[in-house]
Structure 1
Amino acid sequence: MYIHINSHFAIGVIIASLFNPLFNFDLLEFLLIVFASFLNDFDVFFSKYAKDHNHRNLITHSIIPSIVLIILGIVFYWPALFISGFAYFIHIVVDTFDWGTNFFYFPQRTFGLRLLIKNEEENLSEHLSQYNNPESFFDFKYYNNKISLAVEVILFVVMIITIIFFALEFMFIIFFYFLGLYFHLARHFRLKKIEKEKENQE
C-alpha cells in the first residue's frame, strides 16, 4: 500500500471530523489537525541532508515529532494539538506499509512491511536503471497496485462521509484534496511521457 499526499490529507480530515463533535474545533484547530497529517511529506525538499538522500530517513519521518506534539497537547491542555500529534503518528504508521520509514529515528534503519518494494529491494539499483527517471519505478509501482488505488478511493469516500456528518462547516477544505490529487496525477502522466519517449528511442 502506498499513500499519496492527498490520501494522507483525507486521513487528517477523517480524524479531525470524527473528533469535531467532541471538541467543537474552530477553523484553525481543524486545519492544524489536517495539516499535521501530511505536512511532514514536505521534508522531501531536504532529502539531501538525509541518509541515502531518502527523506524518510529524516527525523520528520519518525514518531518523535508526533510524541512531542502529543506531550505539548497534554501540557497545554489543547485537544487539537494532542490530536494533531495523533494524526502525525498515523501518517508515520501508514508509511511503514509501502516503502518503510525511519520509525524510531535513532537506529537510522528503515522500518516497516515495505510491501511495494520487498521483491525488488535487493536489486533496487538494477530496477531503477530500467527507467529514464528513477521516480518512475516508484510511481508505476503505486498505480499498478490495485490495493493502493482501492485504499485511495475508500479514504476519499470515508472523508466525504465523515466531514458531511461531523464537520459540515469545514466542507470547503476538500478543495485542497483535489490539489494534492492533481499534483500526483500530473506527475504520473509526466513520467509516463518520459518513459514512452525512452521506448520510442529504443
Structure 2
Amino acid sequence: MSSSDPASGTPRPEVPFVVIPDTPSVLVTVTDEALREVAHGMGTIETTVTPGIYRIEQRFAGAVATRFVEVGDEAFTERLPLPRVPAPVPVRRTATTHDEHRAAALRWSRQSTHRTGAPSLMVLLRNLRRASRLDPYALQLTAESGAAVDGGEVGWRVDEQQGWSAWSGPLAPGGYRLRLRRPSGEGLPLAQALWVSEG
C-alpha cells in the first residue's frame, strides 16, 4: 500500500503496523480511511501501512468492537482488550454482568431458598432490560414425573429492584425440568432438561 504526500507528490514511507488482541481467537479486520481492507485474520495482525487514520474491528463470540487509530511516521502497535460478550450468567468482563446479579448468584449457590441443606441446584432468573418488568415466578422446577419441586412462589427469593429472582435447594440426584410456568406466546410449554449429579 502506498500513497503520496499531497504537498510534494513524493511517496509516503510505510511504517510497521501491529495489532495484538487479548486472545488469538479474535477475528481482526483493519480498513483505511477510504474503507479499503488493509489486513484481516485471526489473532495478531502484522503489516505495514502509510501514515493515516485506520479502523480496527474485532469480532469474538458474537460481539463486535471497533476503534479508530491514527498512525504517524513511526512504528505503530495497538493492544486490544477482549470485546465484552453477552452471557447468560453474570460473569465479570461480559456485556451483561451486573454486580447485584453476581452477588445473588454467589449467595444462592451457597444458601438454599427452598428447604434446608446445601443446594445441589441454583437457578437465577435475571432481567437485563431495565425498561421491562421481571416476572419473578416465570420459571418452575419439576421432577421427571412433572410434579413441581420448587415450592412455588414461596421457594423463590426475589429482588425486583435489582432485577433478579433465585431458587436454590438440595435435590436428589436425577433428571429435572426447568420450564415456563405458563405456556409461551405460541402456546408451547417450553422446558430445559437438567441433571443433578451425585455430590
Q: Which has the larger radius of gyration?
A: 2
Higher percent of residues as helix = 1
Shared fold, TM over 0.5: no
Shorter chain as denominator, the TM-score bin is under 0.3
